Amino acid sequence: MDNDLEHFGDEIQKELDEDARAVYSEKVIRYANNPENLGRLDVPDAAAEVKGLCGDTMEIYVTITSGTITDASFMTDGCGPTIACGVALTKMLRGKSLMDALHVSPGDILRELDGLPYENVHCAILATTTFYKAVSEYLINT
């Protein structure tokens, strides 16, 4: 009985994976299923939270040392594409000067992910908007 249930679960997962591959790039699927940089930093220099129009919330945390982003992480209650955008953004931010990081755009995230369907583009906008808010609050307070 347990074996049948396990087999059934495996079959459903295979179907879900096939459906996802028909819509999303391998990178989106990989980032969404195995998110790097997920979690809150203990003592970030910059942090913000934004709730998107879709209802997803994104949190961005950044550590800045001598004008360079040395660590970045995120939290979200969002869907797979939102998670993938958080991963892509935080990977791109690390090692960049703060001023160079402000040039990271939703388009950069979309290129990093090898694209997203039109209905998920707002996920990249949510990630960058949250980062911009974190940096603006950091700059106001320093």
Q: What is the pLDDT of residue 137?
A: 93
Closest to 58 in 3D by CA, of 42, 78, 39: 78
Residue with tokens 């320093």: 142
Q: For the chain, which domains are there?
A: 2-141 (3.90.1010.10)
For the record, the structure tokens of 23 come out as 């819509």
What parts of the chain have a pLDDT lower than 70? 1-2, 5, 7-20
Supply φ then ψ for residue 127, to 5 degrees. -60, -50
Over residues 69-101, the pLDDT tens digits come to 999 999 999 999 999 999 999 999 999 999 999
Q: What is the pLDDT of residue 10?
A: 62
